[in-house]
Amino acid sequence: MQWKIITVGKPTFIWARDAAQEYLGRLQRVVRVQHVMIKEGHREQVEAQIVNASANTLRVVLDERGKTLRSVDLAAWIQDQELNSRKCASLIIGGAEGHSPSLKKIADECWTLSAFTLQHEIALIVMAEQLYRAYTILKNEPYHRE
């Protein structure tokens, strides 16, 4: 399965950019992943670009009110998607304004990374790390310990 991680805005803090590059690089070794950065702007324009970038993929919106998954749950979800021949999934991380109700409505799933509201750079790092962790679980590699 391929992944698109769609973010509104790009990492501006050096430490966040480095951490995101680290985990996206690790992911590239185990699965095809693309980081799509949407320039911040008016919500309607931004969300139109998100919809376009995520066309023909399973859309997962990340929101503090979404479904909570454990790392092993994410690994199992990935395995199920791959068994069902899912070609591509998009993980959508919003900007400062969050996601509109209309964007959430067209999403196939809504997940949370935390009950806290996370700044988009931190959400990108956490999501990339969790994807990497899920693939190491599936490959039975020692990265994840229970």
Cα torsion 70, 20, 42, 62 to 10°: value is: 0
Q: How confident is the model at residue 33 (pLDDT cuts 50, 70, 90)?
A: very high
pLDDT value, residue 85: 96
Tokens of 88: 């591509």
* Residues 78-88, mean pLDDT to the nearest whole number: 96
**3.30.70.260, 3.30.9.10, 3.40.1280.10, 3.40.50.1110: CATH of 2-138:** 3.40.1280.10
* Residues 110-132, mean pLDDT to the nearest whole number: 94
Task: Please give the single-letter amino acid code of residue 90.
Answer: S
Tokens of 114: 């935390």
Q: Which distant-in-sequence residues (6+ apart) come within 8 Å of 5 by Cβ?
A: 24, 33, 34, 35, 36, 90, 91, 93, 124, 127, 128
What percent of the chain has pLDDT above 70?
A: 99
Nearest to 8 by CA among 44, 39, 35: 39
Whether the per-residue pLDDT at 136 is higher than 80: the answer is yes
Whether the per-residue pLDDT at 14 is higher than 70: the answer is yes
Can you tell me the distance from the alpha carbon of 13 to that of 10, in angstroms, rounded to the nearest whole number? Answer: 9
- Considering the entire predicted model, what is its pTM? 0.94
